[in-house]
Structure 1
Amino acid sequence: MSTPMSADVVVVGAGLAGLAAARDLSDGGADVLVVEARPRVGGRVEQVRQPDGRLVQLGGEVIGNSHTAYQQLVAELGLSLVPSYVAEPGELTYALHEAVYVGSSPPWFSAADHDSMARIEERFAGLAATVDPDDPWRHPDAAALDHTSVRQWLVAEQATPPVLRALEVAQLGLSAGSLERTSLLALLRKCATTESHGLYSYAEWENLRVAEGSATVALRMAEELGDRVRCSAPARAIKASAGGCSVQLDSGELLHCAAVVSAVPAGPFRDIETSGVSDARLESLHRQRHALAAKFVAAYPRPFWRDRGQSGLSESEGILGSSWPQGEAVLSTLVPPERLAAYVSTDPRFRRTEALAELARWFGPEAREPVATYERLWGTDPWTQGYITQWRPGDVLAVGPLHGTHEPPLYVCGSDQWVAGYMEGAVRTGRAAARAALQHG
């Protein structure tokens, strides 16, 4: 009979969060073992290489100025940051039901609409400045702000109908849930992390990318950890105890350790039987949710959209909620939660045809002739069960101040454990979990 494997710390999940935690734990002298359900590392960052040498990103791609933990990690790994699609020539495309518009701001706006948008942006930034992103629960109006949807607030602020429509199209493009299904407090908390405190700006949130490919960040960390990363090893149970912890794998194998770091998304974590932590902790973790979204990517021989004065960046009311150029002649798109059912309800061949038809409506007939297409159904993938964190009205208070904290010997990290989520949230919380575990002993 074999002896159960042991380590100082078992990290569950080899996405950015788990790998960042494991790397720092290992550097701190801990014996670390990472177990990953998939046959690969990276989680929701992933890339493939085209025959012509181009890297195509199938997961997270871009970051912004306030994503400092991610930027620091990139530098440590010897990788480089370059301007993202925001440096692309051409203008934004608005694909509305009745027409396709091209312009730097909504071309259908009247002077009154532009005034309304400016006033909304000023009011929002002022309100965001009153929210502490690390402790929104102490805001004097936390309950009212959390139970108010962003759309309700916009209506109360007398945003004009065209402004409401433009902001909803932009929100759907981010694929984190519509304005009516987004907590005002959650959005204020997110935007309070930026210097401007303003509504989502591509130039502020998405202006940088890793030149060597975003998935290379995960691959480099996995290379450093070597055989301390085990793929195709789903975790089914976690037992936490000051006297010793264990992680049971799907195979039945039992791993013994002094501490566990859970670095899986909120949905898959609910599928892991977890004991030894408080009911309040589990309730907080189980109340978190991810937006059920998908990604569709099309690689082309050339960036033909530039011929029409378009940058490749778009916001849409169609099944595809947005698009952007991720690299030379490669378009990424997102399917928002409100459109996912319509997208996945047919055969993959027809999904591809329908997606390319939408792109052709926006950018011209050449969009129907890619050299390759890819899709990632994050909303239905059992190892992700969603895209970025979604905060519906009431969610910030329901999850509560345990969000982003730990209950040793169980430490929790991941994009959903930081205020604004995404790749920065994964790296930031992964490294924070490692610090906490090393300090605790």
Structure 2
Amino acid sequence: MKNADIIIIGAGAAGLMAARLLTQAGKKVLVLEARNRAGGRIHTVSDDAVGHIELGAEFIHGDLPVTLELLDKAGIKYNHAGGEMWHFRDGKFSVGDEEMDGWDKLMDCLNQLKEDLSISSFLQDYFPHEKYQPLKKSVLRFVAGYDSANPDKASAFALREEWQNEDNGAQHRLEGGYGLMIDYLVKEIENHGGAIQFESAVKSVDHSTGTVTAINGSVYEADKVLIALPLGILQLPAGNPGAIEIKPSIKEHQFALQQIGFGAIVKVLLKFDEVFWEQIGGHDLSNMGFILSEERIPTWWTQVPKHQPILTGWLGGPVAKEYEHAPDEELFEYAIKALSNIFGISYEEIESKLVAHYVVNWTVDEYTRGSYAYDTTTSVKAREVLNNSIDNKLFFAGEYLYSGPSMGTVEAALTSGKKAAESILRV
């Protein structure tokens, strides 16, 4: 007996956005989610003192149309998340964007590039001289950190589009956290007759008959199935305990899934009993939004313009992948050592100020297996395949299917979910 018109596998932003639109269109929708909560890589936890802490997605990176329209409809407020950019290098603080000698030439060369190649190859081919080593180091570090990407695979074309469309002045945080957006989507789905079933990890999907079945011990049947899982799960080799088996095999789509990059990330959140870093070594850091360093956990940010006692550490890209199986305690120690070195305060003193801490290694999270997608030189063709359904029965959605300057963001996930729902409604 058919359980729904459409089964959606995954209750992250993409799956929930699709479910909202499909239920609004009168479709009977069942969402199957492996976790005991909705949101996926959005995970807001409540805190009595500061209100909320974001273990996953935190920022709105720009004036992004789909995200902001959804928040406006939900009545969720968002605030500017600006602040100064600081650097700590060789024992010294500096403020402002780093002057990168050769950046204008780099963008000129990127704009003239006719055939795509990895950003590492691009830098090697166009900037081989020793004088450009600082530029290359900065670019590669940014690609690994911000995009959580492997520079040996990341597309120069995609990075060119991202850098041409940057608007560092239009950064926002949700007042109350991204969890409010997830709660809104869940309520919208349920109010329109949809259902979300948690702790329901789907192991296989069978599309061999007129309907599609999703199996997780129980068997669920629908006219169509939308797979809205993280790319890291879909890239798992067959036989891996977390992999999803699709029968009959969809070899072209499975090959395409491997052609898009999926990064690695470690996020460390530290809550202290006071904001101790605003006056350090004669420097006024009270408006510091970010500080970049050479430490093992190199990137840190505050809650500016709010003066809350929270520091967030960030390690991305291939280096984060190296710590895939590092114990949380080891990563926590790296974080404290990093702050000790940056602020010139003993490890013991910083630890004594600590009230709570969270280490989130998304790379080993069993339902994610990484951070977010980035474009490789083969991603464009891969998305052309993945955006096509299999016999109008099996569809895909996820931030990895987004094409544009906001790759790897909540905007990308919401946009993909919206497009997937529209595709399903057309057939």
- Counterpart of 2:292, as a letter, is E
Is the 1:151–1:180 Cα contact (8 Å) retained in structure 2? no
Equivalents in 2 of 1:147, 1:329: separation in Å?
Answer: 37
Once residues 180 and 126 of structure 2 are traced to their aligned partners in structure 1, the CA distance between those partners, rounded to angstroms, is 40
2:51 to 33, 50, 54: 54
How far did 1:214 drift? Answer: 1.3
Equivalent-residue separation in structure 1 for 2:343 and 2:125 (angstroms)? 34
CA distance in 2, matches of 1:157, 1:19: 49
Letter in 1 for 2:319: R
Residue 319 of structure 1 pairs with residue 296 of structure 2: yes
- Residues 45 and 54, structure 2, Cα contact 8 Å, conserved in 1: yes
Counterpart check, 1:439 vs 2:404: no
What is the aligned counterpart of 1:338 among 301, 318, 332? 318
Q: Identify which of 185, 200, 203 aligns with 2:169.
A: 203
Residues 342/145 of structure 1: CA separation in 2 closer, same or farther (3 Å cut): closer
Aligned residue for 2:104?
Answer: 118
Aligned-residue offset at 1:233: 0.3
Judge conservation of contact 2:120–2:151 (CA < 8 Å) in 1.
no
The residue matched to 1:69 in structure 2 has which SS? helix
- Is 1:238 the counterpart of 2:205? The answer is yes
Distance 1:28 1:357 in 2: 53
TM-score in terms of structure 2 length: 0.85
Q: Which residue of 2 aligns with 1:399?
A: 382
Q: Deviations over 1:227-251 (max 9, x none)?
A: 70111000111123572111111xx
Letter in 1 for 2:232: G
Asked if 2 retains the 8 angstrom alpha-carbon contact of 1:173 and 1:315, the reply is: no
The equivalent residue for 1:137 is none
Q: For 2:244, which of 254, 258, 272 is the aligned residue?
A: 272
Q: Which has the higher helix share?
A: 1
Name the structure 1 match of 2:240: none
Q: Secondary structure at the match of 1:179?
A: coil
SS at match of 2:302: strand
Letter in 2 for 1:42: G
Closer, same or farther: CA 235–357 of 1 in aligned 2, 3 Å: same
Aligned residue type for 2:424: A
Which letter maps to 1:213?
A: G
Note the C-alpha offset of 1:285: 1.9
Q: Structure 1's 187 and 277: CA in aligned 2 closer, same or farther, altered over 3 A? A: farther
SS at match of 1:216: helix
1:427 counterpart (405, 414, 422): 414
Does structure 1 conserve the Cα–Cα contact (< 8 Å) formed by 2:145 and 2:317?
Answer: no
> Following the alignment from structure 1 to structure 2, what is the Cα–Cα distance between the partners of residues 341 and 65?
27
Identity %: 21
Structure 1 contact 60–214 (Cα < 8 Å) conserved:
yes
- Alignment partner for residue 7 of structure 2, among 4, 7, 10? 10
Which one of 372, 375, 378 corresponds to residue 356 of structure 2?
Answer: 372
Counterpart-to-counterpart distance in 1, 2:207 and 2:124 = 42
1:398: Cα distance to partner? 6.5
**Cα deviation code 1:122-176 (max 9, x no counterpart):** 544x459xxxxxxxxxxxx34x435863533552699722222232333333152
Which position in structure 2 is the counterpart of 1:133?
Answer: none
CA gap of 1:329–1:5, structure 2 versus 1, over 3 A, is: farther
Instruction: Work out the CA distance in 1 between the residues paired with 2:364 and 2:56.
Output: 15
Aligned pair partner of 2:134 in 151, 162, 168: 162
**Equivalent position to 1:93, from 86, 89, 101:** 86
Residues 341 and 262 (structure 1), Cα distance of their counterparts in 2 relative to 1, 3 Å cut: closer
**Further displaced range: 415-424 or 359-368:** 359-368
- Quick one: which amino acid aligns to residue 94 of structure 1? H
Q: Deviations over 1:337-392 (max 9, x none)?
A: 33225545554333212211102322353654322111111111120010011344
Residue in 1 aligned with 2:284? 309
Structure 2 portions without partners, runs of 5+: 236-242
**Contact preservation (8 Å) 2:118, 2:152:** no
Match of 1:32 among 29, 32, 52: 29
Q: 1:194: which partner in 2? A: none
- Give secondary structure in 2 for the equivalent of 1:359: helix
1: CA distance, partners of 2:119 / 2:325: 32
For 1:403 and 1:322, the matched residues in 2 are separated by 34
Pick aligned residue for 1:179 from 145, 151, 159: 151
Q: CA 1:283–1:338 in structure 2 vs 1: closer, same or farther (change >3 Å)?
A: closer
Give the length in aligned residue pairs: 401
Distance in 2 of aligned mates of 1:42 and 1:157: 46
One-letter code aligned to 2:411: E
Letter of the 1:70 counterpart: T
Relative to structure 1, the CA distance from residue 357 to residue 272 in structure 2 (aligned partners, 3 Å threshold; closer, same or farther) is: same
SS in 1 for 2:373: coil
Matched, 1:381 2:365: yes
Quick one: structure 1 residues 77 and 278, their matched pair in 2 at CA, closer, same or farther if it must change by over 3 Å? same
Are the aligned partners of 1:293 and 1:377 in contact in 2 as well (CA < 8 Å)? Answer: yes
SS at match of 2:233: helix
C-alpha change, 1:344 and 1:281, in structure 2 (3 Å) is closer
Per the alignment, residue 134 of structure 1 pairs with: none
Query: Does the CA contact (< 8 Å) of 2:62 and 2:168 recur in 1?
Result: no
Per the alignment, in what secondary structure is the counterpart of residue 366 of structure 2?
coil
Whether 1:216 aligns to 2:180 is yes
376-385 or 276-285, larger mean C-alpha shift: 276-285
SS at match of 2:354: coil
What amino acid sits opposite 2:23 in the alignment? S
**Alignment-mate amino acid for residue 164 of structure 1:** K
| Structure 1 residue 277, shift from structure 2 partner | 6.7
Say whether the 8 Å CA contact 2:398–2:417 is kept in structure 1. yes
8 A contact 1:268–1:384 mirrored in 2:
yes
Name the aligned partner's letter for residue 357 of structure 1: K
Is the 8 Å Cα contact of residues 335 and 343 (structure 1) preserved in structure 2? no
What are the Cα deviations for residues 83-119 of structure 1, in whole angstroms up to 9, with x where unaligned?
Answer: 01x2x3xx323244x444322033xx5xxx54x2233
> In the alignment, what sits opposite 1:363?
343
Closer, same or farther: CA 94–403 of 1 in aligned 2, 3 Å: farther
Match of 2:42 in 1: 45
Which residue in 2 is equivalent to 1:132? Answer: none
Whole-angstrom distance in 1 between the partners of 2:125 and 2:67: 32
* d(CA) in 2 for partners of 1:41, 1:395: 31
How much does 1:80 deviate?
Answer: 1.6
Q: 1:314 Cα deviation (Å)?
A: 2.1
Describe the shift of the 1:401–1:346 C-alpha distance in structure 2 as closer, same or farther (beyond 3 A): closer
